[in-house]
Protein backbone atom coordinates (compact mmCIF):
# COMPACT_ATOMS: atom_id res chain seq x y z
CA UNK A 1 0.00 0.00 0.00
CA UNK A 2 2.89 2.32 0.83
CA UNK A 3 4.37 1.75 -2.63
CA UNK A 4 1.08 2.62 -4.37
CA UNK A 5 0.58 5.69 -2.17
CA UNK A 6 4.11 6.82 -3.05
CA UNK A 7 3.42 6.42 -6.79
CA UNK A 8 0.23 8.48 -6.44
CA UNK A 9 2.06 11.07 -4.33
CA UNK A 10 4.80 11.56 -6.92
CA UNK A 11 2.32 11.79 -9.78
CA UNK A 12 0.05 14.28 -8.00
CA UNK A 13 3.00 16.41 -6.95
CA UNK A 14 4.32 16.52 -10.48
CA UNK A 15 0.85 17.29 -11.80
CA UNK A 16 0.36 20.13 -9.28
CA UNK A 17 3.78 21.65 -9.93
CA UNK A 18 3.11 21.65 -13.67
CA UNK A 19 0.05 23.80 -13.12
CA UNK A 20 2.23 26.86 -13.58
CA UNK A 21 -0.51 29.40 -14.06
CA UNK A 22 -2.25 28.53 -10.81
CA UNK A 23 1.04 28.32 -8.94
CA UNK A 24 2.06 31.76 -10.17
CA UNK A 25 -1.19 33.25 -8.94
CA UNK A 26 -0.79 31.55 -5.56
CA UNK A 27 2.80 32.75 -5.31
CA UNK A 28 1.79 36.31 -6.08
CA UNK A 29 -1.21 36.32 -3.77
CA UNK A 30 0.22 34.50 -0.78
CA UNK A 31 3.96 34.90 -0.98
CA UNK A 32 4.45 38.42 -2.30
CA UNK A 33 1.54 40.24 -0.66
CA UNK A 34 2.61 39.63 2.95
CA UNK A 35 6.04 41.24 2.76
CA UNK A 36 4.60 44.02 0.61
CA UNK A 37 2.00 44.93 3.23
CA UNK A 38 4.68 44.72 5.89
CA UNK A 39 6.86 47.23 4.09
CA UNK A 40 3.95 49.60 3.43
CA UNK A 41 2.88 49.56 7.07
CA UNK A 42 6.42 50.07 8.25
CA UNK A 43 6.59 53.21 6.15
CA UNK A 44 3.40 54.46 7.78
CA UNK A 45 4.77 53.77 11.26
CA UNK A 46 8.04 55.43 10.31
CA UNK A 47 6.23 58.59 9.27
CA UNK A 48 4.30 58.67 12.56
CA UNK A 49 7.54 58.26 14.45
CA UNK A 50 9.15 61.02 12.47
CA UNK A 51 6.32 63.38 13.30
CA UNK A 52 6.46 62.51 17.01
CA UNK A 53 10.15 63.25 17.04
CA UNK A 54 9.70 66.53 15.20
CA UNK A 55 7.87 68.33 18.09
CA UNK A 56 6.39 71.04 15.94
CA UNK A 57 3.27 73.13 16.36
CA UNK A 58 1.74 74.87 13.38
CA UNK A 59 -0.06 78.10 14.09
CA UNK A 60 -1.66 81.14 12.47
CA UNK A 61 -1.30 84.51 14.23
CA UNK A 62 0.96 83.21 17.00
CA UNK A 63 2.59 86.65 17.01
CA UNK A 64 -0.52 88.03 18.78
CA UNK A 65 0.29 85.90 21.86
CA UNK A 66 4.00 86.10 22.48
CA UNK A 67 3.46 84.33 25.81
CA UNK A 68 2.13 81.18 24.12
CA UNK A 69 5.01 81.10 21.67
CA UNK A 70 7.43 81.46 24.54
CA UNK A 71 5.63 78.70 26.46
CA UNK A 72 5.76 76.29 23.53
CA UNK A 73 9.42 76.96 22.97
CA UNK A 74 10.08 76.33 26.64
CA UNK A 75 8.47 72.89 26.12
CA UNK A 76 11.08 72.40 23.37
CA UNK A 77 8.49 72.69 20.60
CA UNK A 78 9.18 74.65 17.46
CA UNK A 79 6.38 76.95 16.38
CA UNK A 80 5.92 77.13 12.65
CA UNK A 81 3.60 79.27 10.58
CA UNK A 82 0.91 77.25 8.83
CA UNK A 83 0.90 77.49 5.02
CA UNK A 84 -1.49 80.01 3.50
CA UNK A 85 -3.91 77.36 2.12
CA UNK A 86 -3.93 75.28 5.32
CA UNK A 87 -7.72 75.14 5.53
CA UNK A 88 -8.08 73.63 2.07
CA UNK A 89 -5.24 71.24 2.69
CA UNK A 90 -6.81 70.05 5.93
CA UNK A 91 -10.07 69.38 4.12
CA UNK A 92 -8.22 67.40 1.48
CA UNK A 93 -6.40 65.40 4.19
CA UNK A 94 -3.09 66.63 2.91
CA UNK A 95 -1.79 68.72 5.81
CA UNK A 96 -1.17 66.00 8.41
CA UNK A 97 -1.14 68.25 11.51
CA UNK A 98 -3.64 70.47 13.39
CA UNK A 99 -3.39 74.24 13.26
CA UNK A 100 -3.67 76.68 16.20
CA UNK A 101 -5.50 79.84 15.13
CA UNK A 102 -5.03 82.95 17.28
CA UNK A 103 -7.40 85.88 16.51
CA UNK A 104 -5.85 89.28 15.75
CA UNK A 105 -7.76 90.90 18.64
CA UNK A 106 -6.35 88.48 21.23
CA UNK A 107 -4.44 91.12 23.18
CA UNK A 108 -7.31 93.63 22.99
CA UNK A 109 -9.87 91.10 24.23
CA UNK A 110 -7.58 90.06 27.07
CA UNK A 111 -7.12 93.72 28.01
CA UNK A 112 -10.91 94.24 28.10
CA UNK A 113 -11.08 91.39 30.60
CA UNK A 114 -12.77 89.02 28.17
CA UNK A 115 -11.68 85.44 27.56
CA UNK A 116 -10.11 85.36 24.09
CA UNK A 117 -10.83 82.33 21.95
CA UNK A 118 -8.03 80.30 20.39
CA UNK A 119 -9.08 77.73 17.81
CA UNK A 120 -7.48 74.35 17.37
CA UNK A 121 -8.43 73.26 13.86
CA UNK A 122 -8.19 69.74 12.55
CA UNK A 123 -10.33 67.60 10.29
CA UNK A 124 -11.87 64.23 10.96
CA UNK A 125 -10.98 63.26 7.41
CA UNK A 126 -7.31 63.98 8.03
CA UNK A 127 -6.40 61.07 10.26
CA UNK A 128 -2.89 62.26 10.95
CA UNK A 129 -4.02 65.79 11.90
CA UNK A 130 -6.72 64.33 14.12
CA UNK A 131 -4.19 62.11 15.82
CA UNK A 132 -1.84 64.99 16.53
CA UNK A 133 -4.50 67.38 17.87
CA UNK A 134 -4.62 65.69 21.30
CA UNK A 135 -1.01 66.58 22.01
CA UNK A 136 -1.48 70.21 20.90
CA UNK A 137 -4.65 70.47 23.00
CA UNK A 138 -2.69 69.39 26.05
CA UNK A 139 -0.04 72.02 25.34
CA UNK A 140 -2.71 74.73 25.11
CA UNK A 141 -4.31 73.56 28.38
CA UNK A 142 -0.93 73.57 30.07
CA UNK A 143 -0.37 77.15 28.92
CA UNK A 144 -3.81 78.10 30.23
CA UNK A 145 -3.01 76.44 33.55
CA UNK A 146 0.30 78.26 33.81
CA UNK A 147 -1.31 81.65 33.15
CA UNK A 148 -4.10 81.00 35.65
CA UNK A 149 -1.59 79.90 38.31
CA UNK A 150 0.43 83.05 37.79
CA UNK A 151 -2.67 85.21 38.23
CA UNK A 152 -3.63 83.38 41.43
CA UNK A 153 -0.08 83.68 42.73
CA UNK A 154 -0.21 87.43 42.14
CA UNK A 155 -3.35 87.57 44.24
CA UNK A 156 -1.65 85.60 47.01
CA UNK A 157 -3.52 82.33 46.45
CA UNK A 158 -1.46 79.17 46.37
CA UNK A 159 -1.90 77.45 42.97
CA UNK A 160 -2.24 74.20 44.95
CA UNK A 161 -5.69 75.37 46.02
CA UNK A 162 -6.98 74.76 42.52
CA UNK A 163 -5.19 71.51 42.08
CA UNK A 164 -6.84 68.57 43.79
CA UNK A 165 -5.13 66.00 41.67
CA UNK A 166 -2.49 65.79 39.05
CA UNK A 167 -2.77 63.72 35.96
CA UNK A 168 0.30 62.23 34.40
CA UNK A 169 -0.35 60.81 30.95
CA UNK A 170 1.62 57.91 29.59
CA UNK A 171 0.98 56.64 26.09
CA UNK A 172 1.56 52.93 25.98
CA UNK A 173 1.12 52.81 22.22
CA UNK A 174 4.82 53.12 21.70
CA UNK A 175 6.50 51.71 18.62
CA UNK A 176 7.02 48.41 20.45
CA UNK A 177 3.33 47.63 20.69
CA UNK A 178 2.78 48.82 17.16
CA UNK A 179 5.40 46.34 16.10
CA UNK A 180 3.48 43.63 17.97
CA UNK A 181 0.36 44.51 15.99
CA UNK A 182 2.35 44.38 12.81
CA UNK A 183 3.95 41.10 13.76
CA UNK A 184 0.49 39.58 14.05
CA UNK A 185 0.16 39.91 10.31
CA UNK A 186 3.02 37.58 9.58
CA UNK A 187 1.39 34.44 11.05
CA UNK A 188 -1.83 35.40 9.32
CA UNK A 189 -0.23 35.69 5.91
CA UNK A 190 1.73 32.47 6.35
CA UNK A 191 -1.46 30.70 7.39
CA UNK A 192 -3.24 31.97 4.29
CA UNK A 193 -0.32 30.76 2.20
CA UNK A 194 -0.86 27.19 3.45
CA UNK A 195 -4.56 27.43 2.75
CA UNK A 196 -4.31 28.87 -0.74
CA UNK A 197 -1.39 26.62 -1.60
CA UNK A 198 -3.37 23.51 -0.70
CA UNK A 199 -6.68 24.73 -2.10
CA UNK A 200 -6.11 24.22 -5.82
CA UNK A 201 -4.25 20.96 -5.50
CA UNK A 202 -6.94 19.59 -3.18
CA UNK A 203 -9.75 20.47 -5.57
CA UNK A 204 -7.85 19.23 -8.61
CA UNK A 205 -7.11 15.79 -7.16
CA UNK A 206 -10.73 15.22 -6.14
CA UNK A 207 -13.42 17.25 -7.91
CA UNK A 208 -11.07 17.92 -10.83
CA UNK A 209 -10.43 14.21 -11.22
CA UNK A 210 -14.19 13.58 -11.21
CA UNK A 211 -14.81 16.31 -13.76
CA UNK A 212 -12.15 14.95 -16.13
CA UNK A 213 -13.55 11.45 -15.82
CA UNK A 214 -10.22 10.08 -14.69
CA UNK A 215 -11.35 8.94 -11.26
CA UNK A 216 -13.28 5.92 -12.51
CA UNK A 217 -10.36 4.45 -14.47
CA UNK A 218 -8.06 5.22 -11.55
CA UNK A 219 -10.20 3.05 -9.28
CA UNK A 220 -9.86 0.14 -11.71
CA UNK A 221 -6.26 -0.26 -10.60
CA UNK A 222 -5.43 -2.86 -7.98
CA UNK A 223 -4.17 -0.12 -5.61
CA UNK A 224 -6.36 0.23 -2.53
CA UNK A 225 -8.53 3.32 -2.19
CA UNK A 226 -6.82 4.32 1.02
CA UNK A 227 -3.45 4.22 -0.77
CA UNK A 228 -4.81 6.45 -3.55
CA UNK A 229 -6.23 8.94 -1.04
CA UNK A 230 -3.09 8.92 1.11
CA UNK A 231 -0.92 9.66 -1.91
CA UNK A 232 -3.18 12.48 -3.01
CA UNK A 233 -3.39 13.88 0.50
CA UNK A 234 0.39 13.82 0.89
CA UNK A 235 0.86 15.72 -2.35
CA UNK A 236 -1.76 18.35 -1.47
CA UNK A 237 -0.28 18.90 1.99
CA UNK A 238 3.21 19.12 0.49
CA UNK A 239 2.17 21.77 -2.01
CA UNK A 240 0.51 23.73 0.81
CA UNK A 241 3.66 23.47 2.93
CA UNK A 242 5.85 24.42 -0.01
CA UNK A 243 3.94 27.66 -0.46
CA UNK A 244 4.08 28.24 3.32
CA UNK A 245 7.86 27.77 3.35
CA UNK A 246 8.23 30.24 0.48
CA UNK A 247 5.96 32.65 2.31
CA UNK A 248 8.05 32.34 5.51
CA UNK A 249 11.26 32.85 3.59
CA UNK A 250 9.86 35.88 1.79
CA UNK A 251 9.53 37.68 5.12
CA UNK A 252 13.25 37.32 5.80
CA UNK A 253 14.42 39.72 3.08
CA UNK A 254 11.34 41.89 3.62
CA UNK A 255 12.72 42.81 7.05
CA UNK A 256 15.69 44.52 5.47
CA UNK A 257 13.27 46.90 3.82
CA UNK A 258 11.65 47.95 7.10
CA UNK A 259 11.88 51.72 7.28
CA UNK A 260 11.18 52.13 10.96
CA UNK A 261 14.18 51.50 13.20
CA UNK A 262 11.99 50.77 16.20
CA UNK A 263 10.02 48.28 14.11
CA UNK A 264 12.99 46.44 12.77
CA UNK A 265 14.40 46.27 16.28
CA UNK A 266 11.14 44.79 17.54
CA UNK A 267 10.29 42.61 14.59
CA UNK A 268 12.47 39.61 15.07
CA UNK A 269 11.81 37.10 12.33
CA UNK A 270 14.99 35.21 11.69
CA UNK A 271 15.67 31.75 10.28
CA UNK A 272 14.96 30.31 13.75
CA UNK A 273 11.47 31.79 13.81
CA UNK A 274 10.90 30.64 10.23
CA UNK A 275 11.74 27.06 11.22
CA UNK A 276 9.36 27.29 14.19
CA UNK A 277 6.61 28.59 11.92
CA UNK A 278 7.08 25.76 9.44
CA UNK A 279 7.04 23.17 12.23
CA UNK A 280 3.86 24.66 13.71
CA UNK A 281 2.14 24.77 10.32
CA UNK A 282 3.00 21.23 9.26
CA UNK A 283 0.11 19.50 11.10
CA UNK A 284 -2.27 22.23 10.00
CA UNK A 285 -1.27 21.79 6.35
CA UNK A 286 -2.14 18.10 6.67
CA UNK A 287 -5.50 18.80 8.25
CA UNK A 288 -6.41 21.54 5.78
CA UNK A 289 -5.45 19.36 2.82
CA UNK A 290 -7.61 16.50 4.09
CA UNK A 291 -10.58 18.74 4.91
CA UNK A 292 -10.46 20.50 1.55
CA UNK A 293 -10.37 17.10 -0.18
CA UNK A 294 -13.30 15.89 1.91
CA UNK A 295 -15.33 18.91 0.85
CA UNK A 296 -14.33 18.70 -2.80
CA UNK A 297 -14.83 14.95 -3.31
CA UNK A 298 -18.57 15.48 -2.96
CA UNK A 299 -18.59 17.97 -5.85
CA UNK A 300 -18.94 17.00 -9.49
CA UNK A 301 -17.00 19.91 -10.91
CA UNK A 302 -14.04 22.01 -9.94
CA UNK A 303 -16.25 25.08 -9.93
CA UNK A 304 -18.77 23.55 -7.56
CA UNK A 305 -15.92 22.50 -5.29
CA UNK A 306 -14.53 26.02 -5.28
CA UNK A 307 -17.88 27.38 -4.16
CA UNK A 308 -18.12 24.76 -1.41
CA UNK A 309 -14.56 25.28 -0.24
CA UNK A 310 -15.19 28.99 0.24
CA UNK A 311 -16.91 28.21 3.53
CA UNK A 312 -13.80 26.53 4.93
CA UNK A 313 -11.51 29.21 3.52
CA UNK A 314 -13.64 31.89 5.15
CA UNK A 315 -13.73 30.14 8.54
CA UNK A 316 -9.98 29.55 8.51
CA UNK A 317 -9.26 33.17 7.63
CA UNK A 318 -11.68 34.52 10.23
CA UNK A 319 -10.46 32.39 13.14
CA UNK A 320 -7.21 34.29 13.72
CA UNK A 321 -9.30 37.45 14.07
CA UNK A 322 -10.57 36.09 17.39
CA UNK A 323 -7.20 37.18 18.77
CA UNK A 324 -7.80 40.73 17.61
CA UNK A 325 -11.44 40.99 18.64
CA UNK A 326 -11.20 39.07 21.88
CA UNK A 327 -10.39 41.55 24.63
CA UNK A 328 -9.72 38.86 27.23
CA UNK A 329 -6.38 37.89 25.70
CA UNK A 330 -5.26 34.35 25.07
CA UNK A 331 -7.59 31.67 26.42
CA UNK A 332 -6.70 27.99 26.84
CA UNK A 333 -9.35 26.93 24.32
CA UNK A 334 -7.58 28.85 21.57
CA UNK A 335 -5.05 26.04 21.40
CA UNK A 336 -7.78 23.54 20.54
CA UNK A 337 -9.04 25.42 17.49
CA UNK A 338 -7.13 24.81 14.26
CA UNK A 339 -5.72 27.95 12.62
CA UNK A 340 -6.37 29.94 15.81
CA UNK A 341 -3.95 27.72 17.73
CA UNK A 342 -1.25 28.08 15.08
CA UNK A 343 -1.68 31.86 14.93
CA UNK A 344 -1.47 32.10 18.73
CA UNK A 345 1.67 29.97 18.90
CA UNK A 346 3.34 31.77 16.01
CA UNK A 347 2.60 35.08 17.74
CA UNK A 348 4.28 33.77 20.87
CA UNK A 349 7.30 32.62 18.88
CA UNK A 350 7.55 36.11 17.41
CA UNK A 351 7.66 37.54 20.92
CA UNK A 352 10.72 35.43 21.51
CA UNK A 353 8.94 32.74 23.51
CA UNK A 354 9.51 29.02 23.11
CA UNK A 355 6.08 27.40 23.52
CA UNK A 356 6.18 24.51 26.01
CA UNK A 357 5.40 20.97 24.86
CA UNK A 358 2.06 21.06 26.69
CA UNK A 359 0.93 23.93 24.45
CA UNK A 360 2.16 22.28 21.25
CA UNK A 361 0.30 19.04 21.84
CA UNK A 362 -3.36 20.16 21.57
CA UNK A 363 -3.10 21.65 18.06
CA UNK A 364 -1.12 18.66 16.78
CA UNK A 365 -3.69 16.30 18.28
CA UNK A 366 -6.65 18.18 16.82
CA UNK A 367 -5.03 18.34 13.37
CA UNK A 368 -4.16 14.63 13.47
CA UNK A 369 -7.74 13.66 14.32
CA UNK A 370 -9.15 15.93 11.62
CA UNK A 371 -6.71 14.50 9.07
CA UNK A 372 -7.52 10.87 9.88
CA UNK A 373 -11.27 11.45 9.83
CA UNK A 374 -11.19 13.40 6.56
CA UNK A 375 -8.83 10.95 4.80
CA UNK A 376 -10.96 7.97 5.81
CA UNK A 377 -14.07 9.79 4.69
CA UNK A 378 -12.59 10.57 1.27
CA UNK A 379 -11.47 6.97 0.76
CA UNK A 380 -14.94 5.77 1.73
CA UNK A 381 -16.85 7.98 -0.69
CA UNK A 382 -14.23 7.78 -3.46
CA UNK A 383 -15.94 4.91 -5.23
CA UNK A 384 -19.46 6.30 -5.18
CA UNK A 385 -18.05 9.68 -6.22
CA UNK A 386 -16.38 8.11 -9.26
CA UNK A 387 -19.64 6.70 -10.56
CA UNK A 388 -21.89 9.73 -10.23
Rounded least distance, CB 3 to other proteins, Å: 7
Q: Which is nearer to other proteins, 136 or 207 (CB)?
A: 207
Rounded least distance, CB 29 to other proteins, Å: 21
Rounded least distance, CB 221 to other proteins, Å: 4
Measured between alpha carbons, how far is residue 41 from residues 61, 178, 219, 254 in Å? 36, 10, 51, 12
Q: Which is nearer to other proteins, 341 or 386 (CB)?
A: 386
Could you tell me the strand order of the sheet in which 99-101 lies?
78-81, 56-60, 99-101, 119-121
Stretch that binds other proteins, among 11-19, 30-38, 330-338, 360-368 (CB under 8 A): 11-19
- For helices 2-18 and 225-256, the axis angle rounded to 10 degrees is 50
- In total, the chain counts a number of residues equal to 388
Q: Which is nearer to other proteins, 138 or 212 (CB)?
A: 212
Stretch that binds other proteins, among 116-124, 178-186, 311-319, 379-387 (CB under 8 A): 379-387
CB within 8 A of 271, min separation 6: which ones? 252
DSSP labels for 91-141? Answer: HTT-S-S-EEE--TTHHHHHHTT-----EEE--TT-HHHHHHHHHHHHHHH
Does residue 11 touch other proteins according to CB under 8 A? yes
Q: Which is nearer to other proteins, 190 or 229 (CB)?
A: 229
Interface size with other proteins, residues (CB under 8 A): 26
Do strands 119-121 and 99-101 pair parallel, antiparallel, or not at all (unpaired)? antiparallel
Rounded least distance, CB 6 to other proteins, Å: 9
Rounded least distance, CB 379 to other proteins, Å: 14
Q: Which is nearer to other proteins, 128 or 210 (CB)?
A: 210
Q: Which is nearer to other proteins, 266 or 386 (CB)?
A: 386
Q: Which is nearer to other proteins, 227 or 287 (CB)?
A: 227
Does residue 386 touch other proteins according to CB under 8 A? yes
Contacts (CB under 8 A) with other proteins, residues 189-228: 209, 212-224
- Helical residues (DSSP H) of 156-296, grouped into ranges: 175-203, 209-212, 215-219, 225-256, 261-266, 271-296
Q: Which is nearer to other proteins, 215 or 285 (CB)?
A: 215
Cα gap 361→355, rounded to integer Å: 10
Rounded least distance, CB 7 to other proteins, Å: 4
- Report the alpha-carbon angle 175-180-182, nearest 5: 90
- CB < 8 Å & 24+ apart, contacts of 75-82: 75/139, 75/142, 77/139, 78/54, 80/56, 82/58
Structural element, H or E, at residue 18: helix 2-18
Contacts (CB under 8 A) with other proteins, residues 224-253: 224
- Report the alpha-carbon angle 237-238-239, nearest 5: 95
Does residue 3 touch other proteins according to CB under 8 A? yes
Does residue 8 touch other proteins according to CB under 8 A? yes
Rounded least distance, CB 294 to other proteins, Å: 21
End-to-end CA distance of the chain: 26
Rounded least distance, CB 229 to other proteins, Å: 13
**Binding-site ranges for other proteins (CB under 8 A):** 3-4, 7-8, 11, 14-15, 18-19, 209, 212-224, 383, 386-387
Amino acid sequence: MIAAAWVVFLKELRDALRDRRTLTMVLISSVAIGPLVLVVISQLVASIEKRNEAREVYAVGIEYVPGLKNFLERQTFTVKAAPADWEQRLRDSKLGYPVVVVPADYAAAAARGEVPVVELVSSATDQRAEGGSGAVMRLLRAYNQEQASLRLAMRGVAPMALETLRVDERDLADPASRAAQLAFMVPFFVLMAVLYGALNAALDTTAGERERGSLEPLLMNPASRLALVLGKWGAVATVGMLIAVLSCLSFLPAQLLLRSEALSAMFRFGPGEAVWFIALLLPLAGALAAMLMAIAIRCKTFKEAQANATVLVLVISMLPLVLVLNQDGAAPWHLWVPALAQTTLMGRVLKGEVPPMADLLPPVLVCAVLTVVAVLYVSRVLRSAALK
